[in-house]
Structure 1
């Protein structure tokens, strides 16, 4: 039946088996052959065999690391820019565009045949917008927001013309408040109301007609039905208005629920509802910060993370409208979770670095890598 989790074979990952890592067992002793061994199958190879794709977010500076570039080419067929494609970084001052870093990623993707995702056109959050834009709020409110509409149109034109190889755009990012599922209070909504949402999709369709239109939201299987229900209502309203919304991005930052209550039944119902709307789903920002785990031992932490990721992906990938799994970084070495800019309140209380990505600081595969591989291999076949 659609949405039903496929049966697991005798070698599938369970929390108990993964915790055996703490006793020194080799990962290859109990994970599927697709994940480790002399004839290793890479993540995207496994994904493509099931009609899926696997990829990662990357920053321009990370392309200076030849070992990471090797991993990107071996493991991925999808690339998302971390920050480089956001308005705040492309136009730091009015009418002064600097796409050099974004172009580096875009050209790398083009040169090596990656499916390129654009992140993001309209992020519904004030601190993610150019400061100069916020400073002009009074001016932008005049004449029904005509000036803001004009600037959004100009920005959409710039994105489409500068990055013509992008095949999927996050037209709107994080429109809703997580706590209650209501629309955020932002420059966009203060000037245009919810019409900004429709406008963002309309403009990207006009200027990048061949790119998929995606709403990207920061949800997963957290025990917060208010946010998920808000997303469903937003999708329903938008589709009824004729918005060209083709896919839903589910960010899947799993660290928010690791070690805490989660809602598997609610997540399944949510995915069933999205599937019923005829939308494709993309896992857009997968990672699993381990800040809620009290263990300090790497092996035990890695085992817990892997089991959690495996369970989440098993459920999510059981829906055949899920088309891609994109990690928010491949390695702990380059992880957003371990940067100085990462909020202090979201770090581990013991000060240890977090281990929320498939590869470690030395770019060696961790149990999370095997968990992703196993979940991809077990996913129902998609129609290609």
Structure 2
């Protein structure tokens, strides 16, 4: 059977399992979540809200929703829990879209991750917050705004969400220093702001996993970013800030056709970083896996193979750490990936950054993730 034929059968089995749940099947391949759970891991994906009939990677798009439900054990909202979505004004919350995602996940018996309670960059805060008048007592007002936001979200979802990206992307990649925002300026500093976010989250969700999430990666040019994240994590430990895990976004960027050589070049520095994180006692969560196919030819077959091999090499290294429990991709289908709009290829060829192509056919990257789960050392999982 050819690679494409095998993948067509795989897709037919996965989609058919969801379309006909009452029909006994013996030829359905195991989902990625099933493969992951055999090693004490869990697999998931981002998904969006959408209107019926809209061509989006959403809960309202039946083919995509079926694919996510078939492959995953956990989901995360792509944008609907962020401040820009939840907070249209200082006095209002807009929960309808995220409510719908959580309800959909529960109807499919999928867990939900919370992303995020604070994206600590000015460009990702709502406009009203960047120009907010904090008044005569800015520290008090800044603390009130932040704690009210977190308390309100946690009170609404309670035990329905078991893992939160409490703070997202607080470290500047260029120099490893912390961003300043309107909130941190009012409160009196970035560290105080991040600490307050985590302490508030712990009080509101005492049993949830609290995560600092960032996109420092293993490719060249990330050394300052990684160093800044380590400094932040060390500070959390020193100050007693309740952070349980580092979210490793895993937006990978290929380094050429020879994936094995690339992995060999990158592995040492990456292990040094993960060693430092885990030796501090932090767990690891791979939160946003996808791949930019940079430096690869236009032709699909060698491009897909190189992406798959690079992904497998990255996962083999990273999953060798028992501290990893969850692996989430940032979408499952090329058709709906954010990368095409963020960084199109110079040769105009459509990006192929996810596990399934634009026609919902599984790609070699899907096979690579499955193989990485099969090769990963087993770990115990309490949940």
TM-score under structure 2 length normalisation:
0.86
| CA–CA separation in structure 1 for the residues paired with 2:248 and 2:344 | 23
Range with greater deviation from structure 2 (217-226 or 71-80): 217-226
User: Where does 1:242-281 land on structure 2 (aligned, <5 Å)?
Assistant: 242-255=240-253, 263-281=266-284
> Structure 1's 146 and 258: CA in aligned 2 closer, same or farther, altered over 3 A?
farther
Q: Which residue of 1 aligns with 2:20?
A: none
Shift of 1:311: 0.4
Shift of 1:379: 0.5
Q: Which residue of 1 aligns with 2:199?
A: 202
Match of 2:183 among 176, 188, 201: 188
1:229 aligns with 2:227: yes
User: Where does 1:1-384 land on structure 2 (aligned, <5 Å)?
Assistant: 26=3, 38-61=27-50, 62-136=58-132, 139-140=133-134, 142-143=136-137, 145-164=139-158, 165-191=160-186, 192-193=188-189, 194-223=191-220, 224-255=222-253, 263-290=266-293, 292-338=294-340, 342-343=341-342, 346-384=343-381
- SS of residue matched to 2:162: strand
Range with greater deviation from structure 2 (243-252 or 141-150): 141-150
| CA–CA separation in structure 1 for the residues paired with 2:203 and 2:223 | 34
| CA–CA separation in structure 2 for the residues paired with 1:265 and 1:25 | 36
> Structure 1's 319 and 361: CA in aligned 2 closer, same or farther, altered over 3 A?
same
Q: Is this contact kept in 2: 1:217–1:249, CA < 8 A? A: yes
> Structure 1's 144 and 97: CA in aligned 2 closer, same or farther, altered over 3 A?
closer
> Structure 1's 173 and 373: CA in aligned 2 closer, same or farther, altered over 3 A?
same
- SS of residue matched to 1:269: helix
- SS of residue matched to 2:112: strand
Range with greater deviation from structure 2 (360-369 or 185-194): 185-194
Superposition CA RMSD, Å: 2.3
| CA–CA separation in structure 2 for the residues paired with 1:120 and 1:60 | 16
Q: Which has the higher contact order (CA 8 A, sep 6+)?
A: 1
> Structure 1's 318 and 185: CA in aligned 2 closer, same or farther, altered over 3 A?
same
TM-score under structure 1 length normalisation:
0.86
Q: Which runs of 5+ in 2 are unaligned?
A: 15-25, 51-57
Q: Which residue of 2 aligns with 1:16?
A: none
- SS of residue matched to 2:335: coil
> Structure 1's 78 and 287: CA in aligned 2 closer, same or farther, altered over 3 A?
same
Q: Which runs of 5+ in 1 are unaligned?
A: 1-23
| CA–CA separation in structure 2 for the residues paired with 1:182 and 1:354 | 32
Q: Is this contact kept in 1: 2:59–2:65, CA < 8 A? A: yes
Shift of 1:256: 6.8
> Structure 1's 229 and 258: CA in aligned 2 closer, same or farther, altered over 3 A?
farther
| CA–CA separation in structure 2 for the residues paired with 1:91 and 1:127 | 15
Shift of 1:96: 2.5
Q: Is this contact kept in 2: 1:255–1:289, CA < 8 A? A: yes
- SS of residue matched to 1:204: helix
